[in-house]
Structure 1
Amino acid sequence: MSKRIDVNDLNVYYGDFLAVEGVDMVIEARSVTALIGPSGCGKSTFLRTLNRMHEVIPKAYVTGKAVMDGQDLYGPGVDPVEVRRQVGMVFQRPNPFPTMSIADNVLAGVRLNNRRISKGAAAELVERSLTGANLWNEVKDRLHLPGSSLSGGQQQRLCIARAIAVEPQVLLMDEPCSALDPISTLAIEDLISELKNDYTIVIVTHNMQQAARVSDRTGFFNIAGTGKPGHLIEMDDTTTMFSTPSEKSTEDYISGRFG
């Protein structure tokens, strides 16, 4: 199910402003790639280019390539809606649809994609997705209640269940634990470790310990100053990045000297 993404000379623009410049990166299938770096250096902007979510901002565009198993995500005739179905996203704050039940939240993406689904198949998909998000046993007796009735950590896992219900190839996570308590954070981290058996995962995090715990590879982004574009400074196996990075700025950031 999961797929590899090859990024080549990717530049992200908002109108005339170059936000991220010249990213070259290989995102391996069935692995967790962490993106770290100080605030405002383009990590989340770059993450959103992988499923074309940045295009919802007027005058945003990219140059360069992001190729998923041979298909350029920005190629002519490629439907951004289909890209977003294949490359799901979980945001910084849990965002279940508040008026929808837990079950309907899981099915929201499927219905948005106009997939007809029988009552029995829907029930099976809800159970499978919630099980995949390690949430089924906690909510199976209250699927009719609003998604907003859950705790913050449960809401984030519900959003993950909603994302995997449409059977994506890749999961993007933009600081998925930043609004959560330590126990909920640990639950999400454990879930990420399980999900990488089936999905390619890219996570943006400001938590260095989290990046070290959950990721296989880490990319460090930085920025030369206000108004300058963000750059991918280096990328390597997480163990190498946290023990012997190539660049002094990476070592300074990881050790807490700035950022």
Structure 2
Amino acid sequence: MAQRIDVKDLNIYYGDFLAVQDVSMTVEPKSVTAFIGPSGCGKSTFLRTLNRMHEVIPGARVEGKVELEGVDLYGADVDPVAVRRTVGMVFQRPNPFPTMSIRDNVLAGVKLNNRRISKADAEDLVESSLRGANLWNEVKDRLEKPGSGLSGGQQQRLCIARAIAVKPQVLLMDEPCSALDPISTIAIEDLIGDLKQEYTIVIVTHNMQQAARVSDRTAFFNIAGTGKPGKLIEMDDTATIFSSPAEKSTEDYVSGRFG
């Protein structure tokens, strides 16, 4: 199920403004890759190019390639909606649909994609997705209650269940724990460790300890100053990035000297 991502010479624009410059990297399947770096360096912008969410902003565009198992996601014959089915996304703040039940939240992506599904299959999918998000035991007796009635950490796991219900190959997570308390954060981090057995996971985080705990590889982005494009400074095994990075700016960032 998990798939490899190859990014080649990617430049990301908002109109004429070059926001992220000349990024090349490989994201390995069945692994967790963390993007770190100071605010404004393009981490989240780059993350959104991996499932073509960037281009929903008027004037936004990319140059270069993003390949999923050799298929260019920006190819002329590629449907961006199909890309977003294959490459799911979990956002910074939990965003369950407030008027929908827990069950309907899980099934929302499936229904939006016009997939016909029998009632029995739908029930199986709800259970398997909630189990996959480590939420089933907490909500199995209140599936008809609104998803918005759950705690923040539970809502975020519900959003993860909604994302995996459409059976993606890749999960993108944009600071998924930044709005959560420490106990909920630990639950999400444990879940990420479980999910990487089946998915390719990319996470943006400002929490250095979190990056060190959950990721296999880490990419450090930086920016030379206001109005300058963000750049990928280096990418390596997480242990190497945090113990003996190649670049001094990486060492300064992970040690807390700036950022």
Assess same fold via TM > 0.5: yes
Write the distance in 2 (CA, Å) between the matches of 1:211 and 1:102.
30
1:148 and 2:177 matched: no
1:81 and 2:81 matched: yes
User: 1:45 — aligned with what?
Assistant: 45
Give the total of aligned pairs: 259
User: Shift of the alpha carbon at 1:70?
Assistant: 1.1
Identity %: 81
Read off the aligned partner of 2:243 and give its amino acid letter.
S
Write the distance in 2 (CA, Å) between the matches of 1:186 and 1:219.
22
Write the distance in 1 (CA, Å) between the matches of 2:208 and 2:247.
17
TM-score, length basis structure 2: 1.00
Q: How does 1:44-193 map to 2 (within 5 A)?
A: 44-193=44-193
User: Shift of the alpha carbon at 1:76?
Assistant: 1.1
User: Shift of the alpha carbon at 1:22?
Assistant: 0.3
Q: Secondary structure at the match of 1:114?
A: coil
Read off the aligned partner of 2:137 and give its amino acid letter.
N
User: Shift of the alpha carbon at 1:206?
Assistant: 0.2
Q: Secondary structure at the match of 1:251?
A: helix
Q: Secondary structure at the match of 1:82?
A: helix
Write the distance in 2 (CA, Å) between the matches of 1:151 and 1:117.
29
Read off the aligned partner of 1:252 and give its amino acid letter.
D
Write the distance in 2 (CA, Å) between the matches of 1:196 and 1:75.
27
* Structure 2 unmatched runs, 5+: none
Q: CA RMSD in A?
A: 0.3
TM-score, length basis structure 1: 1.00
* Structure 1 unmatched runs, 5+: none
> Cα deviations across residues 192-222 of structure 1 (Å, max 9, x unaligned)?
0000000000000000000000000000000
User: Shift of the alpha carbon at 1:20?
Assistant: 0.2
Write the distance in 2 (CA, Å) between the matches of 1:9 and 1:243.
28
Write the distance in 2 (CA, Å) between the matches of 1:249 and 1:156.
33
Read off the aligned partner of 1:188 and give its amino acid letter.
I
Read off the aligned partner of 1:144 and give its amino acid letter.
E
Read off the aligned partner of 2:156 and give its amino acid letter.
Q
Write the distance in 2 (CA, Å) between the matches of 1:123 and 1:252.
50
User: Shift of the alpha carbon at 1:16?
Assistant: 0.2
User: 2:34 — aligned with what?
Assistant: 34
Where do 4+ consecutive residues of structure 1 move more than 2 Å?
Answer: none
Read off the aligned partner of 2:233 and give its amino acid letter.
I
